[in-house]
C-alpha cells in the first residue's frame, strides 16, 4: 500500500493512537518564539491536527494545514472548523504565498533523500524573510522502516551537513539541530531560519 493509502486507511486509528503528551513542547515553544504575534504557519503533513496544529492554534497562530490524506483532513476540519485545511502533497507544494513559519513534523522524513533535496527549496520558497522552518528528520544519513497501525512506512534522512548545505542554497541557515533528543521522545529536530 502507498504511504498515502496507509494514512488514509488508518486515519482514525492513527489519530486515536497519536500521543497527546506534548513531548514536542520544548521545540514547539522555540518555534513559536520565532513567530510574530498572530503569525502564519504552514503545517505540512498536518494529519488530524492534534497535537501540533492544535498547540499552534492555541498560541494564537494562524495555521494552514496541508496533508495528502483526505481522511486525516476530515478529522482536522471536524476538530478545528475555523482552520484552513488543504489536500496536497509537499513534493508539489506551490501555494503562491509565504508564511512566518513552516512546520514539517513526522512528515518530511517519509520522503526519499532525493525527494527531500527537491522539496527543501519548495519549503524555503514558502517562508518570508526571517521565517522559521522546523522539521523532524533522522539523526544521520540513511533510511529505515517504521509502522503505522502495523503497516510498514518508509523514513529517510540526509546528514546534518547535507541539510545545512541544501538549506544554505535556499538562503536558510540552521539555527539548531538535535539528534535523538531525549526530551522529545528521541526525535531528531532541525530548526532553520530564512535570511
pLDDT of residue 84: 97
Task: Tell me the C-alpha distance between 38 and 59, whole Å.
Answer: 8
For residue 183 the three cell numbers come to 526530551
List, for the chain, all residue ranges whose pLDDT scores fall below the cut of 50: none
pLDDT of residue 35: 96
pLDDT of residue 3: 81
Residues, the chain: 195
Strands 40-44 and 142-148: unpaired
Name the nearest CA neighbour of 58 among 91, 25, 12, 94. 25
**Torsion sign, CA atoms 65, 70, 76, 78:** positive
Amino acid at each position: 500500500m502507498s504511504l498515502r493509502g496507509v494514512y488514509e486507511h488508518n486515519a482514525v486509528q492513527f489519530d486515536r493512537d497519536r500521543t497527546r503528551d506534548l513531548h514536542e513542547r520544548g521545540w514547539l515553544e522555540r518555534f513559536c518564539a520565532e513567530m510574530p504575534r498572530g503569525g502564519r504557519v504552514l503545517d505540512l503533513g498536518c494529519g488530524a491536527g492534534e497535537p501540533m496544529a492544535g498547540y499552534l492554534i492555541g498560541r494564537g497562530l494562524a495555521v494552514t494545514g496541508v496533508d495528502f490524506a483526505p481522511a486525516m483532513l476530515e478529522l482536522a476540519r471536524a476538530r478545528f472548523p475555523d482552520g484552513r485545511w488543504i489536500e496536497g502533497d509537499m513534493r508539489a507544494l506551490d501555494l503562491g504565498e509565504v508564511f512566518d513559519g513552516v512546520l514539517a513534523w513526522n512528515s518530511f522524513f517519509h520522503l526519499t533523500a532525493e525527494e527531500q533535496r527537491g522539496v527543501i527549496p519548495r519549503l524555503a520558497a514558502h517562508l518570508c524573510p526571517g521565517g522559521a522552518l522546523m522539521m523532524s528528520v533522522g539523526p544521520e544519513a540513511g533510511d529505515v522502516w517504521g509502522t503505522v497501525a502495523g503497516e510498514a512506512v518508509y523514513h529517510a534522512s540526509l546528514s546534518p551537513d547535507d541539510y545545512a548545505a541544501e538549506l544554505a542554497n535556499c538562503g536558510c541557515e540552521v539555527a539548531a539541530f538535535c539528534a535523538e533528543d531525549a526530551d522529545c521522545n528521541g526525535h531528531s529536530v532541525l530548526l532553520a531560519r530564512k535570511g
